[in-house]
Every structure is written in C-alpha cells, then in structure tokens.
Amino acid sequence: MTCGNGGHLQRFMMVLIFLFSPWCETVDAAFKDDFEKFVRNSDLFETEAGSRGLIYDDTETVSYVKTILGRILGTRADSLPMHVHILRDPSLNAFVMPNNTMYIHSGLLTRFENEAQLAFVLAHEWAHIHQHHLWHGIRSTVRKVEMAEWVSTLGTAVTAGASSSLQIGSQLGLAAILSISISGFSREQEREADEVGFTMMAKAEYDVREATTFFDMILKEFGDQSAFATFFYGSHPRHRKRKEYLSRLIEKHRPSDDTATAYSGDGSYLKRMEPLRRLNAKKYLAHKMPFSALGELSLYDTHEMGDLEIPLLRGKAHSFIYSDYEDIEKIQIKRKSKNLSLAELLPRNDHYQRAASYFGDVIKADSQYAEAYKEMGLLNESKGEHKLAIGMYQTYMDIASDSGSIRFIGWKIRNLNKKLETESEE
C-alpha cells in the first residue's frame, strides 16, 4: 500500500540511488530501463498484501517497531526512509523489497524475548538495503531470468491470488523475489549484513549479546540447517556459524563485563506482542500446527475475566492433537532422531481431558459461548461419543449465529443420527 505522494517520492529516490550508485556504472542499459519494473511490482506486492488483509495495521504495535528502527537509524519513527509492515504470518521471516519496504512476519516478532533481539533483525535487514545487497541480487537474478519472463511470472502470481500470508510469501513473494531477498544474498553479504547490523545495534546502545540469544532458540528448535528458507535459516551461512561470528564481534566490540549501557528494552516487549501471539495461534491452528499454537499461548498464564478465547484456543490445540495423535507421534519420533526440541506429547487421553476441561471452563464462564459447544462436539465425535457430540452440536445450533457453521453442524447431526440408527439396527 503505497501511501500517496510520499510513496511516489520514496520510489523516485530509490531509483536515483540505484542509478547513481558507483556499482551501477557496470550495469547494462537494458537493466537500467527495466529497474523501475521491479519497484512497481514491489508496489503491487504491497497493495495486494494490504487488500487481502495480510498487513497487520495495529497502530500501536507498528509504531513501536518503527520506533525501534528509528533508534537504530538515529531518526524519528515518522521520518524513516522506508515503509515498515507487519505481515499476518506465523512463519519466521523478515525481508526487504525493491521499493524500499521492510516486511516482518508476526511469527518472528513473537519469538523474540525483548526489544534488543528485534533491533538486531531490523538492523540486519536495513544493512541489506544500505549495502546495496538487494540490487546486486536483482542484477544476479536478471542474468539468470529474462526480465519480461520475470515480470510475467509476477503478474500471474498476483492475479492468481493467495489465500494466506504463507502463500503470499511463496506466490506474491515469488520465486524471484524470495531468491533475491533470501538465497540471493551470498555468504559474504549475509556476514556483512550481520556485521553492519551489529555495529548499528551497538551504536544505538542495545545489548549486543542479545543478537546471539535468538540463534540459540533456532538451533534448539530447528537445528543447524532447516528446510525452511527464511531470514534466520536461509542457505548462507548456517545458524551455528552465524552465532559464532556474532560472538566474536561481541568480544571485539563490547567486553563481557560491560553492561552499564547495555539496553534490551523497557520490559514491555512481551506484553506488547500479546495480540500478535493470539493472531499467530489462530494461524497455526488453521495450518494444523497445534504445538506451535500452544507455544504462542504459553505466555498467557491466566485469562482475564471475560477473555475466554485463550482457553478456547488451547482446547482446540489439544483437541487437534487427540484427533491426529498417531501422525503427530511420528513427527515427534523424527524430531527426536535429529536431536531437535520436542513439544510435550502427553498420553492421548490426557490431551482429550485437557481439551474437554478448557471447553468446559469456557461454557461454565459463559453458557452462551456457542463455539465452545461446537468444539466440544467435534472432540466427542472424534472419540466416538456420538450421543454426547449430538447434544453439544444441538446446543450450538440453538444459540449460534454463524449461518455457514450452522449448516455444517446440521449436516453432522444428521450423519451421526444415521450412524446411531444403523448401530441400533445391528
């Protein structure tokens, strides 16, 4: 979503920076002529992401992220030389686009423990722009793919439509864009971005030791190299090497006992990210990732009076684990073989009991909370308790207002009644 004249000015400035960069003297005229197409298509990405509701536009959270970037760049949040957007996407990613726009996935933001860890990522991404890595990546990509073909691919992906933020990363983000913003960066460029970002982080008086803390979590959860291609675990270089390199930078620039000016934040980071954790939990459940959803909800120690969505989401996660227990057990065995961290997989019936308990708590607190009855019905149906399921479904039908779900649950009631009739005849 390019914002009025400011967006056009921003694009114009980026073109000027590109055209008059020293390295640009070696670029052929055809590429100069086509460069603006990359910028325009990046604008299209931004517009499409906004129109599909994938840009998280909570003013308070976005302003907070911009304030951190402003501190790194030594400017006010409202004077940043780029756009900053949060994407409603639970995967761990952050990237920059040719129109000088930075995107941060909601899933990445909620994995950080404090402001300093986020500051390192923002500084790293800014370094890719400042050091012209993105433009070198574009040039490298153009050498491999005809520009007209690339633009055609972009247009096709945009008009095809992505149904989620995960898809916009692979379709609207495009093979070409992802190649540029992730694997398009060489080992040397990634290391340079780490070093420049580290230096900017230190200059802003953030605790630079936090730059390695997040890599500890990545190594524990995903190993030294993951199948995913995102900011923290792309192909150049591996996590452990990056952590080791950053650790050497810490020793060089800030003695381990120098904590007087080290700033990791004002302690409000986790609280500020609560709305995003809730959003991510819903996304994870939609993508059948119950343990990731429970991880996002784990920091909600108790739910506030009237906020019954947290126990409902926890119940849905345990209900999913109960229903797909055998498949999830296989995944756990595979993770264990790779020495990766394991989620708490309880005996199957324990997940049933936890789900039933959470749904029961919601119903006890609010007897008109329709979705809790629906979820309790689904849980009982998966256990084979058809009569109990029908009772819960019927209560849902009596109080629900969602016409689409009512039709679906009505269909389930009819099917279960047929099963009961068949069983009684036998």
For residue 181, what is the DSSP state?
A: I
Closest CA to 108 of 296, 312, 319, 354: 296
Specify the pTM.
0.79
Secondary structure in 3-state letters for 300-344: CCCCCCCCCHHHHHHHHHHHHHHHCHHHHHHHHHHHHHCCCCCCC
* Cα radius of gyration (the chain): 25
Same domain, 21 and 155: yes
Judge if 295 and 410 occupy the same domain.
yes
79 shares its domain with 143: yes
Q: Is the pLDDT of residue 2 over 50?
A: no
* Residue that terminates a domain, selected from 204, 228, 253: 253
pLDDT value of residue 143:
55
CB distance 277 to 110 below 8 Å: yes
pLDDT at residue number 299: 79
Which residues sit opposite 87 in a β-bridge?
Answer: 55, 105
State which residues form the domain around 166: 4-253
* Cα–Cα distance list, 106 to 175, 185, 317, 390 (Å): 21, 23, 19, 38
The domain total for the chain is 2
Residue-wise pLDDT tens digits, 39-61? 777 788 788 888 889 999 999 99
pLDDT tens digit sequence for 300-342: 765 555 689 999 999 999 999 999 999 988 888 887 776 666 7
Residue 137's pLDDT band (cuts 50, 70, 90): low
Backbone angles phi, psi at 232, to 5 degrees: -85, -20
pLDDT tens digit string along 237-285?
Answer: 576 777 787 888 777 766 555 555 578 888 899 999 999 999 999 999 9
- Residue 297 and residue 230 share a domain: no
Q: Does one domain contain both 229 and 312?
A: no
Tell me if 261 is assigned to some domain: no
Work out whether the CA dihedral 81, 82, 83, 87 comes out positive or negative: negative
The answer to whether residue 270 is domain-embedded is no
Distance CA 98, CA 93 (A): 17
- Give the residue-averaged pLDDT of 74-97: 88
Beta carbons within 10 angstroms of residue 125's beta carbon: 24
Tell me what the mean pLDDT of segment 73-98 comes to.
88
Q: Of 253, 271, 305, which residue constitutes the final position of a domain?
A: 253
Q: What tens digit of pLDDT does each residue of 369-417 get?
A: 999 999 999 999 999 999 999 999 999 999 998 777 899 999 999 999 9
Give first-to-last CA distance, the chain, whole Å: 62
Beta 83-87 vs 55-56: how paired, if at all? Answer: antiparallel
Per-residue confidence (pLDDT) for residue 88, from 0 to 100? 93
Q: Are residues 295 and 399 in the same domain?
A: yes
Task: Look at 43 and 203; give whichever has higher pLDDT.
Answer: 203
Nearest one of 247, 228, 240 to 105, comparing CA atoms: 228
- Please tell me whether residues 135 and 242 are part of one structural domain: yes
Q: CB–CB of 103/134 below 8 Å?
A: no
As a whole number, the mean pLDDT across the chain is 78
- Fill in the DSSP letter of residue 95: E
Predicted local confidence at residue 412, as pLDDT: 95
